[in-house]
Amino acid sequence: MAKVTIDGIEIEVPDGTTILNAARMIGGKVVPPAMCYYSKLKKTGGYCRTCLVKVAQGSAKDPRPMPKLVVSCSTAVQDGMVVQNITSPEVLEARRGVVEFLLINHPLDCPICDQAGECKLQDLGYEHGLEKTRYEFSRRKFQMIDIGGKIKLHMTRCILCYRCVRVAEQLTDKRVHGVMNRGDVAEISTYINNIIENDFSGNVIDVCPVGALTDKTFRFKSRVWFAKPMDAHRDCKRCSCKAVLWMKGDDVLRVSARKDKNEEIEEFICNECRFEKKKKEDWVIEKPTHISRQSVISQNHYEVSKPLKLGTGSQPPKPLLNTE
């Protein structure tokens, strides 16, 4: 075990744990943002640099600070390490720079993007972004393409985090897409506009941190914060089918996988559950999905964490929160 202190909070973690995962064990504001690392997939991290932190003390044995900021998603903790995330002005300055770079080519089309409200770059831009761009050159542009009947690729929005490539590599047996070319012409592509067709390809939509890969069956149907997310499951032979139904009245607008507290998929779901089962009767609805209070999606969705107790007076108390 190794003792590590992150932003003044000490925690003991198993040897080999990365700084990011140690911070996730503490939770809250000390967790660095991660746009490319995905704990449910192998070989992720190291691309986006949003998770940079300062190591103010390398270890108990060698207390010298690390000379440069390090990527927390791929740096393992050492016993006695002292890490600074939001307490370091240097880290915040570097993160501002990373966000500025990520936004150089990313279109600011949030008002029409289906990912708005769930977009990690939107959150990052809000917290660390500049009010205006300093970039004067023409931006990278790509044509939108359909990769298969159900997935739309809007490459102009892509930040090349490689998460979708890892999904294709690790979840599907017939991988047909990846990153082509290099530098600012690098793009996610299927090579000669092939289509992605396998049972788990839809998970690329959920892992994409921005609106580059979107669900064609949901595009432009609703803003996510107008839909009501409900945890549901069904009897499926391919996957655990633990899903979230995004509902408007009795209509199922979208089906997505459930996400954990780090906004990562809990269990990958198959395409049949995601794209074909769009009727309420196809599912057993469990309960309203827990959405963080900080998320714009939680607007108008109230949950009651504890059952309300009836009062002892003649009139039962009125619930302040409407759970319907």
Single residue of 27, 46, 311, 319 touching ligand FES by CB under 6 A:
46
Between 158 and 244, whose beta carbon lies closer to ligand FES? 158
CA-based angle 34:183:130, to the nearest 5? 50
Q: Which two tokens stand for residue 61?
A: 């044995």
The entry of ligand FES, ligand SF4, none that residue 210 binds, CB within 5 to 8 Å by partner kind = ligand SF4
CA-based angle 307:310:316, to the nearest 5? 130
4 is a site residue for ligand SF4 (CB under 6 A):
no
Residue count at the site for ligand SF4 (CB under 6 A)?
A: 14
73 is a site residue for ligand FES (CB under 6 A):
yes
User: Which among 131-139, 208-216, 228-236, 293-301 is the span making contact with ligand SF4, rule CB under 6 A?
Assistant: 208-216
The entry of ligand FES, ligand SF4, none that residue 50 binds, CB within 5 to 8 Å by partner kind = ligand FES
Q: Which residues contact 247 (CB under 8 A, 6 or more apart)?
A: 227, 228, 229, 230, 253, 280
68 is a site residue for ligand FES (CB under 6 A):
no
What's the burial of 116, exposed, middle or buried (CB within 10 Å: 0-12/13-18/19+)?
middle
User: Which among 7-15, 152-160, 223-231, 241-249 is the span making contact with ligand SF4, rule CB under 6 A?
Assistant: 152-160
Q: Which two tokens stand for residue 112?
A: 């029409």
Which whole-number Å values give the CA distances from 241 to 232, 272, 273, in the listed order?
Answer: 8, 9, 7
Between 164 and 247, whose beta carbon lies closer to ligand FES? 164
Helix (H, G, I), strand (E, B) or coil at 3: strand
Per the CB < 8 A criterion, the answer to whether 231 and 249 are in contact is no
Q: Which two tokens stand for residue 16?
A: 């080999």
User: Which among 59-67, 135-143, 161-169, 235-243 is the span making contact with ligand SF4, rule CB under 6 A?
Assistant: 161-169
For residues 122 and 50, give the distance between their C-alpha atoms in angstroms, rounded to a whole number.
13
Binding pattern for the stretch 1-40 against ligand FES, x by CB under 6 A and - elsewhere:
---------------------------------xxxx---
Q: DSSP letters along 102-160, please?
A: HHHHS---GGG-TTTTT-HHHHHHHHH--SS----SPPP----EE-SSSEEE-GGG---
102 is a site residue for ligand SF4 (CB under 6 A):
no
Chain centroid offset of residue 61 CA:
36
Between 74 and 298, whose beta carbon lies closer to ligand FES? 74
Phi-psi region of 117 (alpha: psi -120 to 50; beta: other; left: phi over 0): left
* Least spacing, CB of residue 167 vs ligand FES, in Å: 16
119 is a site residue for ligand SF4 (CB under 6 A):
no
User: Which among 47-55, 167-175, 215-223, 235-243 is the span making contact with ligand FES, rule CB under 6 A?
Assistant: 47-55
121 is a site residue for ligand SF4 (CB under 6 A):
no
Between 36 and 52, whose beta carbon lies closer to ligand SF4? 36
Nearest to 125 by CA among 159, 156, 154: 159
Binding site for ligand FES (CB under 6 A): 34-37, 45-51, 71, 73
Binding site for ligand SF4 (CB under 6 A): 158-164, 188, 207-210, 212-213
